[in-house]
Structure 1
Amino acid sequence: MADFIKIYPENPNPKAIQKVVDVLKKGGLVIYPTDTVYGLGCDITNIKALERIAKIKGVKLEKSNFSFICEDLSNLSDYVKQIDTTTFKILKRALPGPYTFILPGSKNLPNPFKKRKTVGIRVPDNPITLAIVNSLGHPLVSTSIRDDDEIVEYTTDPELILEKWDKRVDLVVDGGYGGNEGSTIIDLSEGEPIIVRQGKGNLEIF
């Protein structure tokens, strides 16, 4: 049975955030709100937790396309090769926000991702997510939770999410209704921005 915890985005309760962080530090899987859809995440440093997410998604961990959820751009140098000023300005303009940026991966990536040439970076504009990452002290590895129903694509009601994911995760954060449109994915690994998927977010900032 997964725990269910209510956190208000206007003013995330530090004790509630700490409960989420404790679960993550023990290798737990957490479903939490972002500025787009609800995400399934774990501690980037916990290999067993990463393997659990890959198994749920039915993918090999080394080949997975999970995003790294960061608190701000200060984490970038840990996972991303040196980027030029133009790229940095785009990131600065767009983040925090509903975008996933594909950037060239550095040599310091966690073991399962060592062979990756690129990584997807997210800094969601959601106080709950940012508070979790801040308290954890390093990024989450995350993937959006898609719905089995093709019409509904994403589940937006936290109680329904709990019903569907109860046996597979350790904690579901109720941060209110989620969105049903994923992030806009932009590939900046080659310099010029390439729109991989148009989702939530204004493309005019590019």
Structure 2
Amino acid sequence: MKFQPPPRVVSQTEYISVSADGEDAWKTMDLVDILQRGGVGVLPTDTGYGFVTPLDSKQGLERLLRIKGIQDCKKPLSLLCSNLKTIDEFCFGIDKAAFKVLKKNLPGPYTFILPAKNTLPNGIVMDIKGGKHSWKRQTLGVRIPNDPVLRYLQDDLLDGMPLLVSSLPILGMDDDDDDFMTPSTQLIDCQVDMNASWCNQVDFVVDAGTRPYDGSTIFDLSATRGEPILVREGLGELQLVQ
């Protein structure tokens, strides 16, 4: 019997346009029910747009990975957190030095890699061939983005619900490609045609205008007693506030 992917939470993708400054972020209120039911959608962050789903949603995780085309789970997703308490709930190794780094640089355009606790859900996903395998979680990338729309939805409406996140693809990376599309232009395309790209595979899309797509700056704190090791340069400053 051919494996069928999990069903969508809603019958039709909900598209919501809000102001970049978050003054009308209340429009996202209807998304609370979708996310509480394990839905998958697109939200803005301070480093671009990303696919999101609740941390405890196995079906949401599976759908997100399928949309991204990730079959072997070797590239773990990051976790959007509301505060340092949430980070501490799912990561260990946060000594005094690491806590100081996190507190002084978050919220912000950073991802910090920390050792993962076994409090993370045992997410089992299916690959395209139908085989089961675990998403390995020796470490976890954690973020607290400083985006007003995201902060309102996650902090105020969702009461700090942790969300798995993976960045939207940048289509046609070659500048000479006529089909070159940044995540922001993909959102505009979704508004015009919900059957375009990944648009009809998600439950909602929140468009908060143009966002950068350079990604977050990533530092590894997992094996260094609070001494950050640069993994990838992104929008965050390379010189962290210490």
TM-score of the alignment, normalized to the shorter chain, above 0.5: yes
Q: 1:14 to 1:148 in 2, by over 3 A?
A: closer
Deviations along 1:99-131, one digit per CA (max 9) or x if unpaired, are: 111101012111127841100001001011122
Any unmatched runs of 5+ in structure 2? 1-11, 124-133, 175-179
Q: 1:125 to 1:62 in 2, by over 3 A?
A: same
Q: 1:155–1:161: 8 Å Cα contact kept in structure 2?
A: no
Secondary structure (helix, strand or coil) at the match of 1:180 reads coil
Is 1:121 the equivalent of 2:132?
Answer: no
Q: CA deviation at 1:181?
A: 1.0
Q: CA deviation at 1:82?
A: 3.8
Alignment correspondent of 2:183: 155
Alignment correspondent of 1:66: 77
Alignment correspondent of 1:178: 211
Percent identity among equivalent residues? 36
Alignment correspondent of 1:109: 120
Q: 1:101–1:120: 8 Å Cα contact kept in structure 2?
A: yes
Is 1:133 the equivalent of 2:159?
Answer: no
Matching residue's letter, 2:233: Q
Question: Residue 80 of structure 1 is aligned with which of 80, 91, 116?
Answer: 91
Q: 1:32-47 counterparts in 2 under 5 A?
A: 32-47=43-58
- Between the aligned partners of 2:181 and 2:217, the Cα distance in structure 1 is 16
Secondary structure (helix, strand or coil) at the match of 1:111 reads coil
Q: CA deviation at 1:146?
A: 1.3
Question: Residue 189 of structure 1 is aligned with which of 222, 227, 230?
Answer: 222
Any unmatched runs of 5+ in structure 1? none
Question: Which one has a larger percent helix, Structure 1 or Structure 2?
Answer: 1
Matching residue's letter, 2:228: P
Q: Say which is worse superposed, 96-105 or 3-12, in terms of deviation.
A: 3-12
- Between the aligned partners of 2:210 and 2:101, the Cα distance in structure 1 is 29
Structure possessing the higher radius of gyration over alpha carbons: 2
Q: CA deviation at 1:28?
A: 1.7
Secondary structure (helix, strand or coil) at the match of 1:204 reads coil
Q: 1:164 to 1:67 in 2, by over 3 A?
A: same
Matching residue's letter, 1:175: A
Q: CA deviation at 1:178?
A: 1.5
Aligned length: 206
Alignment correspondent of 1:145: 168
Question: Residue 20 of structure 1 is aligned with which of 15, 31, 34?
Answer: 31
Matching residue's letter, 2:234: G
Q: CA deviation at 1:60?
A: 4.4
Question: Residue 110 of structure 2 is aligned with which of 99, 105, 111?
Answer: 99
Deviations along 1:22-59, one digit per CA (max 9) or x if unpaired, are: 22122221111100110110111111011111112232
- Between the aligned partners of 1:57 and 1:18, the Cα distance in structure 2 is 26
Q: Say which is worse superposed, 61-70 or 47-56, in terms of deviation.
A: 61-70
Is 1:201 the equivalent of 2:212?
Answer: no
Question: Residue 65 of structure 2 is aligned with which of 54, 58, 73?
Answer: 54
Q: 2:76–2:135: 8 Å Cα contact kept in structure 1?
A: no
TM-score between both structures, scaled by the size of structure 1: 0.90
- Between the aligned partners of 2:189 and 2:93, the Cα distance in structure 1 is 42
